[in-house]
Structure 1
Amino acid sequence: MAEPANALPREIVALRMTPAQLTALEARGFVLLARSPGPLAVGDLFRFEVPSTISTAEALRLARDLAPSAIIDFNHIYRPAQAECRDLFCQQRRTIRWPQPPNECRVEASIGLIDTTVDRNAPALSGQKVTVLDGVSGGRPLASMNHGTAIAALLIGRSDASVPGLLPRSEVVTVQAFHKSDAGEDIGDTFDIVTAVDTLLKRGLKVINLSFTGPNNRLLAEIVARSASEQTLLVAAAGNRGPTAPVVYPAGYESVVAVTAVGDDLRIYRGANRGNFVDFAAPGVNVQVVSAKVETRFETGTSFAAPFITAALAASRAQQPAASSDALVTALQSSATDLGKPGRDPVFGWGLVQVPEICP
């Protein structure tokens, strides 16, 4: 088993480890770095430094042998799914028939968000219903504010802001689960992301935006499955690695709503991942967003497409609280504009979401 390039070096994570198994690992040189403050919905979560005498891959095999009933994996890392943007402004909301200023979607919904740090003092978020929870373990430095602030403002920014939010009367509960790596990169690891999802589940959030991508992970899969069992919709970016890239996660899990990006011309974003896991397309090329440092900027990537689907599902959930997750997603499917090959396809999924019935 090779050393993973997309995981924190010298670390593994574990779920549902018994006290005896924990003792066995520590006796073999594993160092407990962090433990969930209380049982998560999927069990106790542990983060370990592996013994210095063996590789991370060897340590993973050893840990699984010592604790066969536990779920153990590398501490994979996940990155905000944004891409560099070089083009000009496009009127993306019109393509999905979202209300245009001075009109607004007046639905009041609650949305969960797991992302980088959010600047609640940004003009677009001033006075808005934003709850920010710290989700970075181990005292590591917080990630930058740009990505998280842009996503939060896109979701619920003030209606009179330079870039009005999709659901300005709604609230966002965000867990800042990304930290600054030694190399200065904004990353989130499995331990913090699984804990963040659990935090939002316990707060009763039924729609959660996940604008980041990374590898498949056993622990992440477990909390995703738990979310589905609790009728919580997870919406994720489909990825920006290109049409031949492998599936990314959490978008690749069956119960997660995976969102790709299209431009104002309804052409697929050339950097978008493709595959049978893609569910919907939404505007994600030259999306005008707010920033923690400048008033507005333009961004491209599936990160910025995901909030359009999140907002649509959150508005639907608020108006139909008794509806199942499957029913809400099926309603979006039936109203989507088919793009590409007839029916669902690996490029556009079910097509471009349309929202006139959601925000009349």
Structure 2
Amino acid sequence: MFKAADYVVRQVVSPEIGKDLIDWGLKAIGVELAWQKTKGEGIKVAILDTGIDEDHPDLIDNVKEYIDFTNSPSQYEDMQGHGTHVAGIVAAMDNGIGMVGVAPKAELYCAKVLGDNGKGGFEAMIRGIKWAIDRKVDIISMSLGTSSRPPEVLYQVIKQATAQGIVFVAATGNENSQVCYPAAYDEVIAVSAVDENMQHPQFSNHGIENEICAPGVNILSTYKEGHYARLSGTSMATPIISGAIALILARYKQLHNGAKPSVSAVHELLQHMVKDLGAQGRDEVYGAGIINLALLP
């Protein structure tokens, strides 16, 4: 059984209309410098989560497809707010409303694999990944996890997608414990969180699988029913990395006549686009460090 990585609603907010707020988490990773080169044009990001508020004014143009694999009474609608928050961090529109995502020109494909209670089975996850493969997405972002090792069939479908060039990004988890699955798989980029002081929050999981970190405390994004909220968790750090990878892929295509880097090349690029935190070099708490998009070539 998977569940959404637990999170805390700090406050539901109403950002100023007519102004796109660039949240502290985006400023901390140098996103404004990266935007001078790309905003993620043409990159497809699948969000596997609790559904989507597809009519949210900051998401409506970027949400291209959505589907429910949970048989929830609400169908694809996001009753939790979690999936909508994650989607906004990746690609909320730069439209003078509310806030803006890391890659505001990226396309979103949202699969509801967690039910209205925030939990879901392995079958829904597998179906969601296969659906994303069929849509030829570039990135699959998963702010969810389980502490127990999933059945082998899930790992095989992740390997299948990776072989087709899809980059997986997942949350390490929020139990101050070991890295959960699917983030613990070698093929998946495992993301931990930092706070505004670039410190490790007590909730963020850690371990040798941890690859990179990103802001994950008090992060502003879109929320259910057209609202906005500030939430905390590795669930919020994960889509920051997914959005960052969308920018990296879009920029790579600009520089290489439309060519796409291999998944292993993306992992390698991330290791060199960081500011080291904690112990020198890669460590179990911060991974290689915090993503630094100011280093985008």
TM over 0.5: yes
Given that 1:88 and 1:286 are in contact with CA atoms closer than 8 Å, whether structure 2 keeps it comes out as: no
Q: CA deviation at 1:106?
A: 2.6
Given that 2:12 and 2:228 are in contact with CA atoms closer than 8 Å, whether structure 1 keeps it comes out as: no
For the residues of structure 2 that align with 1:322 and 1:294, how far apart are their CA atoms?
A: 35
Match of 1:111 among 32, 42, 45: 45
Instruction: Work out whether 1:356 is the aligned partner of 2:278.
Output: no
Instruction: Work out whether 1:171 is the aligned partner of 2:171.
Output: no
For the residues of structure 2 that align with 1:276 and 1:152, how far apart are their CA atoms?
A: 27
Q: CA deviation at 1:303?
A: 0.4
Instruction: Work out whether 1:335 is the aligned partner of 2:262.
Output: no
- Look at both structures and tell me which one has the larger radius of gyration over its CA atoms: 1
For the residues of structure 2 that align with 1:154 and 1:104, how far apart are their CA atoms?
A: 19
Given that 2:30 and 2:292 are in contact with CA atoms closer than 8 Å, whether structure 1 keeps it comes out as: yes
Scaled by the length of structure 1, the TM-score of the pair is 0.71
Match of 1:224 among 150, 158, 177: 158
For the residues of structure 2 that align with 1:132 and 1:83, how far apart are their CA atoms?
A: 23
2:32 maps to what in 1?
Answer: 99
1:134 maps to what in 2?
Answer: 68
After superposition, give the CA deviation of every residue in 1:174-221 in whole Å (9 maximum; x if it has no partner): 1112223xxxx2211100101110111122112110010113212222
Match of 2:210 among 266, 278, 293: 278
SS at match of 2:224: coil
1:69 maps to what in 2?
Answer: none
Return closer, same or farther for 1:284/1:266 CA change in 2, 3 Å cut-off.
Answer: same
SS at match of 2:32: coil
For the residues of structure 2 that align with 1:201 and 1:166, how far apart are their CA atoms?
A: 23
**What residue identity is the alignment partner of 1:163?**
M
Return closer, same or farther for 1:141/1:158 CA change in 2, 3 Å cut-off.
Answer: closer
Given that 2:191 and 2:212 are in contact with CA atoms closer than 8 Å, whether structure 1 keeps it comes out as: yes
2:89 maps to what in 1?
Answer: 154
Q: CA deviation at 1:130?
A: 3.0
Q: CA deviation at 1:104?
A: 9.2
Given that 1:119 and 1:145 are in contact with CA atoms closer than 8 Å, whether structure 2 keeps it comes out as: no
Most deviating of 286-295 and 86-95: 86-95
Most deviating of 230-239 and 151-160: 151-160
Instruction: Work out whether 1:122 is the aligned partner of 2:56.
Output: yes
Aligned residue-pair number: 276
Task: Give ranges in structure 1 of 5+ residues lacking alignment.
Answer: 1-76
Q: CA deviation at 1:145?
A: 4.6
After superposition, give the CA deviation of every residue in 1:251-299 in whole Å (9 maximum; x if it has no partner): 0001100000101100012101110010001010110112114632210
Q: Percent identity?
A: 24
For the residues of structure 1 that align with 2:238 and 2:178, how far apart are their CA atoms?
A: 19
SS at match of 1:226: helix
Q: CA deviation at 1:226?
A: 1.6
Q: CA deviation at 1:127?
A: 2.9
1:35 maps to what in 2?
Answer: none
Matches within 5 A, 1:1-360: 77-86=1-10, 91-99=24-32, 105-108=38-41, 109-137=43-71, 142=75, 144-159=79-94, 160-180=96-116, 185-214=117-146, 215-218=148-151, 219-242=153-176, 245-293=177-225, 295-318=227-250, 319-320=252-253, 321-358=259-296
For the residues of structure 1 that align with 2:11 and 2:225, how far apart are their CA atoms?
A: 20
Scaled by the length of structure 2, the TM-score of the pair is 0.85
Given that 1:177 and 1:193 are in contact with CA atoms closer than 8 Å, whether structure 2 keeps it comes out as: yes
2:20 maps to what in 1?
Answer: none
For the residues of structure 2 that align with 1:259 and 1:334, how far apart are their CA atoms?
A: 15
For the residues of structure 2 that align with 1:291 and 1:334, how far apart are their CA atoms?
A: 33
Given that 2:56 and 2:226 are in contact with CA atoms closer than 8 Å, whether structure 1 keeps it comes out as: no
Task: Give ranges in structure 2 of 5+ residues lacking alignment.
Answer: 14-22, 254-258
Q: CA deviation at 1:88?
A: 12
Return closer, same or farther for 1:128/1:231 CA change in 2, 3 Å cut-off.
Answer: closer
SS at match of 1:315: helix
After superposition, give the CA deviation of every residue in 1:132-152 in whole Å (9 maximum; x if it has no partner): 122225x66546151111111
Q: Taking CA–CA contacts closer than 8 Å with sequence separation of 6 or more, which of the two structures ends up with the larger relative contact order?
A: 2
